[in-house]
Structure 1
Amino acid sequence: MKKQISIIGVPMDLGQSRRGVDMGPSAIRYAGVVEKLEALGYSVEDCGDLSIGRSERPTHQGLKNLKAVAKASDELYRMVKREVGKGRFPLVLGGDHSIAIGTLAGISRPYKNLGVIWYDAHGDLNTEATSPSGNIHGMPLAVSLGYGHSLLTSIGGYQPKVKPENIVIIGARALDDGERVFIKEKGIRVYTMHEIDRLGMTQVMNETIEYLKENTDGVHLSLDLDGLDPDDAPGVGTPVYGGISYRESHLAMEMLSESDLVTSAEFVEINPILDIRNKTADVAVELLGSLFGERLL
């Protein structure tokens, strides 16, 4: 991995309905992310937080805070693009998962085939037509594939940001009906909790790494803390029991580190209001340590 890291905080809570996730970047910083990475030998520049607007009155049927999310996504796109242009590793801290719209827009342009690992309990593949809630944090992967409202898909001035054959979803266990159809139609590779239980995390990650190594020229890790089981990561807005364990997640990050495939990352959906003594932010920092090469021996 690149030894220069740019941390970008995105205190976004407009993509969903539960307040508090906007404090996620502060919680991760408080848990010692900068100190952890510097202790591992990285040069870290904290670029601070984006300024996020307020929630808006409903103006577009079916999508909540559409214009505000689009504006924040555009600003994040520009910030991430700037850091990528400097040759630095962008590490984006959320905030709800709608921030991935701006992150992927800022990252994917230099790559012909950017790979994406979507580590999440959810597919985030809804569109306005399929979403049960209208929450945009359930749509960023679909948007990045070019499906959704034009205000979102057009961020960065190009689309799509990623191809379906270059995506691997890990940890899925809460998929809406429209998402299941979308996954089958587009041929997206998904390892649900059934596959993780049956194959084991070692095989899942080996297959993921080999698959992306063959098809891509860079890999973005988008890690939603609700991918983990709520017993290990309680401070998330949409917990789903029966998730990936703390130890399995460490193994996944260690294997990604050894593969040297990951070129950018974001950690999202930490809600300190719902947490227990900042446990979920602590878990995020520990997983980041493993991703960036920390080992017991």
Structure 2
Amino acid sequence: MTISYEGQVAIVTGAGNGLGKTHALKLAARGAKVIVNDFGGARDGTGGSSAAAEAVVAQIKEAGGEAIANGANVAEFSQVQQMVDAAMNAWGRVDILINNAGILRDKSFAKMALDDFKTVMDVHVMGSVNCTKAVWDIMREQQYGRIVMTTSSSGLYGNFGQANYGAAKMAVIGLMNTLVLEGAKYGIRINALAPTAGTRMTEDLLPPEVFGLLTTEAVTAGALTLCDKDAPNRMILCAGVGGYSVARIVETDGIFLPESEQQPEVVRAQMEEIEDSEGQQALRAGGEQGEKFLKKAMAFMQSQC
């Protein structure tokens, strides 16, 4: 069945270029009315211009769609609130939010200024928090919403020179995990996209022949499945070069040590069993970890009776 966003309103941040631009164009092509947000800064977040967002809006309108350009800095909640107000004033609802805006300030941690760490966190983490907060009550009242966080393999697995970016991209996974629990009864589903694409963020980091394979369209196909009415919930979808996979945070079953053995030497001696992947699972809430350990403790006490 064809996926359509007819009658829906979407906000895409960082949509003047790269992935965000393709997300916005493809959403509009499938019927969504789109707020095309872009601060218009350079890759490191400096500067600012509305030209890129306005060009994307013009492209959408030329194709018969509806769109509004917006230059809000996602790190500033007051500006984000004005953006969401513009969507509500124009169209009366917000159905989809893609938190895509981001910047890079790569350096090894030893050489990285704390200001560069904080600025990257502000844009990626607080930008996602601000935008999500601004639409949250709207989606709750509608009993419907689809939110996409943009994570990265740099956050999931690490990448040299990207301590700030990696920390930010893992932080939005923590945000997603809790919002999934809080939004479920209101029909709000939150997922994360881990993209591999050739954009201005990566164009000088890759050989031209490799860069050409990393199309934004391949990633957007994944992003749009996370915006659909039949979207999953709490998925980390990895997409790039036509490949699609799911990343999961899993926890091993682990062991139980009685109080007399709770010493670092014993823990180290049991590490092979602690790391054993048999029986590992993806937990659905933080409390499940404590519940698991309590069950192990109870089973041990019963075995001593």
TM over 0.5: no
TM-score (norm 2): 0.38
TM-score (norm 1): 0.38
The structure number with the bigger radius of gyration is 2
